[in-house]
Amino acid sequence: MKKLFVWSLLLFALACNTVNEKLQKEAQAFIDEYSKKYVELYTTYSEAQWKGNIEIKEGDSTNSVNTRKAGEAMAEYTGSEEIIKKAKEFLAQKKELTELQARQLEYILFNAANNPATVKDLVKQRIKAETEQTEKLFGFQYKIGAKKVNTNDLDEVLKDEIDLVKRRGAWEASKEVGKGLKSGLENLRNLRNKTVQALGYKDYFNYQVSEYGMTTDEMMDLNKKVMADLWPLYRELHTYMRYELAKKYKQQSVPDYLPADWLPNRWGQDWSSEVHVEGINLDSILKTKGPQWITKQAEAFYVSIGYDPLPPVFWEKSNLFPYRADSSIKKNNHASAWHMNLNDDVRSLMSVEPNSEWWETANHELGHIYYYMSYSNANVPPLLRGGANRAYHEAMGSLMGLAAMQKPFLENAGLISSGIKTDEIQILLKEAMNTAVFIPFSSGTMTFFEKNLYADNLPSTEWNKAWWEYAKKYQGIIPPSTRGEEYCDAATKTHINDDAAQYYDYALSYVILYQMHQHICKNILKQDPHACNYFGNKGVGDFLKSIMKVGSSKDWRKILKETTGDDLNAKAMVDYFSPLMGWLKQQNSGRKYTLPEAL
């Protein structure tokens, strides 16, 4: 009797294995079929979007029509009822599938939620609305008075101009585009919410956050924690900047909050150009090098740590340099990297000028490109060729941008003299004015506004009010004059329109990059994190490749823990800037603090 029972168990186990193999084979066939069609449609859509981003002509709707058609074709397939039904059936037996299969099926279902066939009319409306919004945003002709300008021109005024009247003129000119985007954004908010709600998501913000395996509340709590950890530093930087800018603009009184038009960035997210490090004048040197040199030198950096040279298609098809300000053809003026076919066609869209900002940006954008190239391998299926999470992509780019601005790296590149004496505190201050200042904007103003927009369905009659309330609370920034609801200053930020409900990606990417930077400097280079040189070190390349090559085929938390030995936290970032805190407190001694001690 005992033997019979054992044989029964054995036969049952064998039967289960047979079922598992059959199920896995069926699931794989479905995934393979979907992947083939998905890549085909993705490539066509990418090409249409690419052309629509580099060739915007007033009165010519050819590109927008093609983009809309390609988007609709992709949406129709990825959101089809049959695809949703099959993916759900397989995932109902998730435990009997391989981990790789389960991850791909979850991606298929996530994709479907953005384009469910059950509400295909809504999906078509949303695709059309998104295309039109992009054209309005990037086809807008900026003007200062009667003079036609581009965004680089506006940025130059905000960085260099001392005359407050001229500064305000440029800042206000940069916000004019928002007026024409407001109704489109309201329509998009409604369409995006309704689209994903059809597959069970609470709202579009909840949908985007779910890609991290988190709830909306968990994501908001994480961003609050990151801001709280860095708040003491930001409070010192804010106080310092109020007094320094009042002095710069020869103002007798120091404002309690920073007027937005006093700052060198249109959204107050980066103040680094206000810090000039003695002995390091990259802008003047880079002007002699030219924009082409900057992109080639960025490539040389990656090659030096063990990556392959960029493929010919990158140089043949990328769009790297700005159009003339009076050009009848416009383009997306926001730097971006593109993985056109989820394989070997990689491109970048930039407007490189010979200055320090574009030096850092070029190195950043190639971080995305090399991430694409790294996970486009036989071990990572096309559906999982993405960052470990969305923040990882930005982390890789920003990490390499940070590395390219370190003093030993600049010496190696011949951009500053070897052994030149510099004020290390000023270098650290410049970095803090970039990355630490960015956190209250990204984790605070942007994330809380978009959560309000989508999850709380904030009425459009309160958008500008809410935007500036968040800017004041988290950034300590106020508009130069009253901004009524005829404006839509939030919509002047590219991502609000075409990369919605994901801006926390950038905040988390900085947290991740400092964790990775600390690990590289302490454990691989054995160098001071404030003065290290990645260039030419294959160990650095091997470390980065170990993260890049797996794409999203592994859980992002495991990847971070395995590679850096730690969970996601802002400690490395706080540690990095700790030498600056004492100096800032000395500078601010006797000054009035206007931000609270804690959020």
What tens-digit pLDDT sequence spans the chain (599 residues)?
Answer: 445 554 555 554 444 555 589 999 999 999 999 999 999 999 999 999 999 999 998 888 899 899 999 999 999 999 999 999 999 999 999 999 999 999 999 999 999 999 999 999 999 999 899 989 998 998 899 999 999 999 989 999 999 999 999 999 999 999 999 999 999 999 999 999 999 999 999 999 999 999 999 999 999 999 999 999 999 999 999 999 999 999 999 999 999 999 999 999 999 999 999 998 887 888 899 999 999 999 999 999 999 999 999 999 999 999 999 998 889 999 988 899 999 999 999 999 999 999 998 999 999 999 999 999 999 999 999 999 999 999 999 999 999 999 999 999 999 999 988 888 889 999 999 999 999 999 999 999 999 999 999 999 999 999 999 999 999 999 999 999 999 999 999 999 999 999 999 999 999 999 999 999 999 999 999 999 999 999 999 999 999 999 999 999 999 999 999 999 999 999 999 999 999 999 999 999 999 999 999 99
* Distance of alpha carbon 440 from alpha carbon 442, whole angstroms: 6
b/e map 419-431, b = 16+ CB within 10 Å: eeeeeeebbbbbb
Q: Residue 531 corresponds to which tokens in the numbers above?
A: 């003065």
pLDDT of residue 464: 98
Judge contact between 135 and 62, C-beta under 8 A: no
CA angle 234, 238, 244 (to 5 degrees): 140
Using CA atoms in the order 547, 548, 550, 551, what is the torsion angle rounded to 10 degrees?
A: 120
pLDDT of residue 197: 96
pLDDT of residue 64: 87
What CA–CA distances, in Å, run from 564 to 285, 310, 514, 515? Answer: 36, 28, 10, 7
* Distance of alpha carbon 542 from alpha carbon 534, whole angstroms: 12
Among 318, 301, 299, 317, smallest CA distance to 309 is for 299
3-state secondary structure string across 109-176: HHHHHHCCHHHHHHHHHHHHHHHHHHHHHHCCCEEECCEEECHHHHHHHHHHCCCHHHHHHHHHHHHH
Instruction: Centre a 10 Å sphere on the Cβ of residue 22 and count the other Cβ atoms it contains.
Output: 11
Q: What sign has the CA pseudo-torsion 573, 575, 576, 580?
A: positive
Judge contact between 440 and 220, C-beta under 8 A: no
Do strands 258-259 and 477-478 pair parallel, antiparallel, or not at all (unpaired)? Answer: parallel
pLDDT of residue 25: 97
pLDDT of residue 2: 47
Decide: helix, strand or coil at residue 278. Answer: coil
Instruction: Centre a 10 Å sphere on the Cβ of residue 413 and count the other Cβ atoms it contains.
Output: 18
Half-sphere exposure of 134 (CA within 13 A, CB side): 28
Place of tokens 């650290």: 428
Q: Give the tens place of pLDDT for each residue, 277-289.
A: 887 888 899 999 9
Q: Residue 8 corresponds to which tokens in the numbers above?
A: 């029964």
Widest distance between CA atoms in the chain? 98
* Distance of alpha carbon 120 from alpha carbon 220, whole angstroms: 31
Judge contact between 400 and 301, C-beta under 8 A: yes
What CA–CA distances, in Å, run from 104 to 41, 66, 416? Answer: 17, 29, 48
Judge contact between 456 and 448, C-beta under 8 A: no
Judge contact between 75 and 420, C-beta under 8 A: no
Phi, psi of 136 (to 5 degrees): -65, -45
Domains of the chain and any CATH numbers: 2-200 (no CATH), 216-289+362-587 (1.10.1370.30)
Q: Which helix (H) or strand (E) holds 40?
A: helix 2-54
